Homo-oligomer: A and B are copies of this chain.
């Protein structure tokens, strides 16, 4: 029987990363494709303790909860955000089950078919897919390693009057780069000038290799203007605690949060109260900031090990900018290299990555790849890079023989 699916389903892409993982299943593959944090560093004992505490208070933790989220958790998060220079009240915050839900809810309350949104090039693949599932049209703003180019942004704000500008200014996915303060200020100012919202996605901001450097969020910069916020900010505990706690949050003007809560109520009523209470307990007794420093230092070590292994191979025309945080290395290859074809060679050799093209709304980036350095065990990295080396050679040989 042919199903009469909705129009939206024609725009529901499958995740390229998950497709790659499916191909590799059951095979001896070292995957650098996923965006997974290192399991060995999950604070399992503390999380176990936190759940036990959350469930020690009787049945209340197991009842239906507020759509907006567990109030004591929101209050605590507001305090934490204040330490990052963001003034936010609990009614300007919505708990979600992670960044993916935050993105989906914001898309849901803002996007109609044909609506334009502006994005970086490259940008987060799954966000692009969500926006496209609502039949919105992502338009790429010219972007360099310091962020969006203000001139092009302004031209496109004027031309398209987009619903919002979606950005990952700190350790972006896949680029791994950090926007300069100048660009942050310029983008906030331009969007205010033209009355267009900014949607700031910040899953990696805490995972920084130099703990003493601070990158102010666009949300905090926007607050210097003093009136209602023009930035919707989302972050998650997936990279700082663990993905399994399925907890993220959105901060925005209260009118936006109210509407997003309505959409969340229709989507799933509310996030797991057990998970939220456990997280609240965890933030009470666990040194999360210290934990994040430990994890970030380990990720830095893994990134350095990987890039030095890659450097040793002296792949011709292959380069990257060393990231200052986050989870990804964004690799530039010579113009003649097609990353999707290279991937087929790589999978045969037992290694996987994500071809760059999927991170662009316009199909460019074919000669780039995203490589994750956080998940693969460091002692396996030499073997992974050895396999990448064989893939490059096999690709070159096949190209010559055509």
Chain A contacts to B: CB under 8 angstroms: 1, 3-9, 12, 14-15, 18, 34, 36-37, 39-40, 42, 44, 47-48, 51-52, 55-56, 58-65, 67, 96-98, 100-101, 104, 108-112, 115, 126, 129-130, 133-134, 163, 195, 197, 228, 230, 238, 242-246, 253, 255-256, 259, 262-263, 265-269, 271-275
Copies assembled: 2
Whether B267 pairs with A267 at a CB distance below 8 angstroms is: yes
Whether A110 pairs with B6 at a CB distance below 8 angstroms is: yes
Q: Which of B1, B8, B44, B59 contacts A195 (CB 8 A)?
A: B1
* 14 residue pairs A–B, Cβ–Cβ below 8 Å: A4-B163, A6-B110, A12-B262, A14-B265, A15-B265, A18-B67, A37-B63, A39-B60, A44-B55, A44-B58, A51-B51, A64-B243, A97-B268, A246-B272
- List of B residues within 8 angstroms of A8 by Cβ: 108-109, 112, 263
Quick one: closest B residue to A35, CB to CB?
B64
- List of B residues within 8 angstroms of A130 by Cβ: 266
Distance of A219 from chain B, by nearest CB (Å) = 16
- List of B residues within 8 angstroms of A108 by Cβ: 6, 8
A87 to B344, CA, bound (A): 39
Quick one: closest B residue to A115, CB to CB?
B6
A388 to B204, CA, bound (A): 54
Whether A36 pairs with B63 at a CB distance below 8 angstroms is: yes
